[in-house]
Amino acid sequence: MTSTHTARLIVCERTGRWAAALRMELAEAGVRVWETRSLAECWETLAAAPGNFVVVELGAATADDLLARMIGLADSFPRTRVAVVADRSLAEYEWLLREAGAVHFACSRRQLAPLARTACRHLAQVPTPRQGLAERIWAGLPWSG
């Protein structure tokens, strides 16, 4: 089934702090940030649109699950890209996660400009699905999703 949703910037984290920082960084770009609170919820959201950009918070308890999901990402969602954010204490995971497919890794909410640029560049390259008149109207409403 072909999706009629455009690609999304999805942030998967428990607290909402990374999403808030990204919203500030992306304010001028007009990119909407979608939030999920678990990897399972995030991966369910990926099915709604092709070519999403996902920012996932790495936690010590979620590292194995995240790695397993990232390894299978290319088969399930080939146009989706993943960036990983983490506490500085988990910085040693960076190259392992990059090897698993992460396009960016950040340990500071103060330095999100490169991540925001990468996300915007990716989202700009994803083709917009064809929509009928009713779908375009609903998509233009402020409460649409």
Q: Average pLDDT in the 102-111 region? A: 96
8, two tokens: 């999304």
Rounded distance between C-alpha atoms, residue 122 and residue 144, angstroms: 22
Q: Give CA separation, 19 vs 22, 32, 35, 53, 127, in Å.
A: 5, 10, 7, 13, 24
Rounded distance between C-alpha atoms, residue 22 and residue 141, angstroms: 23
Edge-to-edge strand list for the sheet holding 81-86: 33-36, 9-12, 53-58, 81-86, 102-106
Residue 16 has pLDDT above 50, yes or no: yes
Residue 116 has pLDDT above 90, yes or no: yes
The pTM of the full predicted model, rounded to 2 decimals, is 0.85
**pLDDT at site 66:** 96
pLDDT confidence of 31, banded at 50, 70, 90? very high
With CA atoms as reference, report the closest residue to 45 among 4, 10, 17, 13.
10
**pLDDT at site 82:** 97
Show me where the domains of the chain are located. 9-140
What is the third-level CATH fold of 9-140? Rossmann fold (3.40.50)
Question: Please, are residues 27 and 58 in contact by the beta-carbon 8 Å criterion?
Answer: no
pLDDT confidence of 144, banded at 50, 70, 90? low
Return the higher-pLDDT residue of 35 and 7: 35
**DSSP secondary structure code for residue 18 in this structure:** H
Q: Which amino acid is at 3?
A: S
pLDDT confidence of 2, banded at 50, 70, 90? very low
